[in-house]
Amino acid sequence: MASPLLPRVSVSNAAVGNTISFSSSLSNGLSWRRSTAFPDKSRRKVSTVQAKIREIFMPALSSTMTEGKIVSWIKSEGDVLSKGESVVVVESDKADMDVETFYDGILAAIVVGDGEVAPVGAPIGILAETEDEIAEAKAKASKSGSSAPPPPPPPPPPPPAVVPPKSAASAPVSDVPKKIVATPYAKTLAKQHKVDIGSVVGTGPFGRITSADVEAAAGISPSKSSGVNVVSRAAAAPAPVAAAAPKAAASPAPPPIPGSTVVPFTTMQAAVSKNMVESLSVPTFRVGYPVLTDKLDALYEKVKPKGVTMTALLAKAAAMALAQHPVVNATCKDGKSFTYNSSINIAVAVAINGGLITPVLQDADKLDLYLLSQKWKELLEKARAKQLQPHEYNTGTFTLSNLGMFGVDRFDAILPPGQGAIMAVGASKPTVVTDKDGFFSVKSKMLVNVTADHRIIYGADLAAFLQTFAKIVENPESLTL
């Protein structure tokens, strides 16, 4: 991207009459057309002015990314770069990704060093076209790195306060009659002491005439009741401040426990935290269902030597069930409508060092079991190396979370923003069950709990989906077709 400090020149060669349009801070959008009456050979040769120094910006590597952290610079200052060559590794909120350059040139200066954070769109490096521009690029980098943001403009002076007594005093000067505002007791006192209430200056709120004002105009000492009113008004004034004091005292965070250590969120942890908070605004409900897994376990032992994982089996079963119940694969984002997704993309929650990510098995219902397992292994390796591309983790339409491998028998999962449902899979354990004839037997059974968006998915929808999922798992021959 060209530096905004340099003008941009665009050249348009038409078939009839060459038109040159200059767009910069000096041209003001003016255009010149070559006159056919006065041909000028010098105008036939049009040269394009190109920026010599360009900035490398912090890219937006995902839709939720607001800032990025420089993991490491692949290139050093002074290295010659080619278009499409990786320059720097950036940690987004989901993965570490190589950032490429769009231009040929020389990496003249690094503005944001390793381990530092910059907002999306901020310059992180300076690219010079030739060696002659390196010195100028370095000066630009030092200027952008050392320049602090301009201080905010000083607040405008507050308007002069209007003092009620003065406005009330100036009222008699005006020829326009003004409504007299007085308390009922003040009017009664004015009648008793024969005081013209129109000549009394009120000291109450908005110039209201009080009993104390009438007594002062009559030249008598304030009564006990009026004194009580004055004191009560004076005492009532600081009440809001006193009432606000407990709130102000409750706002500071409690002091840390002695010996504790405060650890800031990583970029990924901050993204997970943001998504979890957003999920609280979605009305959800949960439905659990028991599933017998004896035949699924037998199938797994048969296909395991071929590289098939249990995660792939469960993802395939969920995708086949979603194909029969598309509303569970739908999405509601604005609270006013919902979308039936044409693709069934199963996101699988994976715990990695320093966070959580959900690689996506795209079109899981259309891939055979073996290809799905191979794709899952590739995604898992990229996830652990933090090398997933954005489309490989943010395109899920249904999420699968499996803690059964840790021996967890049941749990509830939090619905990810932008999806309709998430399935929590528990461990398969031997359980005593009874058949329709009342005979007891021991079979392997797992519990699955689904959390769904109640705005688009209702209890009957989720129950029907779980019944279909259970039938597929309990008769898994269709998974290998």
Of residues 193, 325, 391, 454, which has the active-site annotation? 454
Written in H, E and C, the secondary structure of the chain is CECCCCCEEEEECCCCCCEEEEECCCCCCCEEECCCCCCCHHHCCCCCCCCCEEEEECCCCCCCCCEEEEEEECCCCCCEECCCCEEEEEECCCCEEEEECCCCEEEEEECCCCCCEEECCCEEEEEECCHHHHHHHHHHHHHHHHCCCCCCCCCCCCCCCCCHHHHHHCHHHCCCCCCCCECHHHHHHHHHCCCCHHHCCCCCHHHCECHHHHHHHHCCCCCHHHHHHHHHHHHHCCHHHHHHHHHHHHCCCCCCCCCCCCCCCCHHHHHHHHHHHHHCCCCEEEEEEEEECHHHHHHHHHHHHHCCCHHHHHHHHHHHHHHHCHHHHCECCCCCCCECCCCCCEEECEEECCEEECCEECCCCCCCHHHHHHHHHHHHHHHHCCCCCHHHCCCCCEEEEECHHHCCCCCCCCCCCCCCEEEEECCCEEEEEECCCCCEEEEEEEEEEEEEECCCCCHHHHHHHHHHHHHHHHCHHHHHC
Residue 454 annotated among the catalytic residues of the structure: yes
Tokens of 137: 């690029």
CA distance 284 to 453: 5
Catalytic residue list? 454
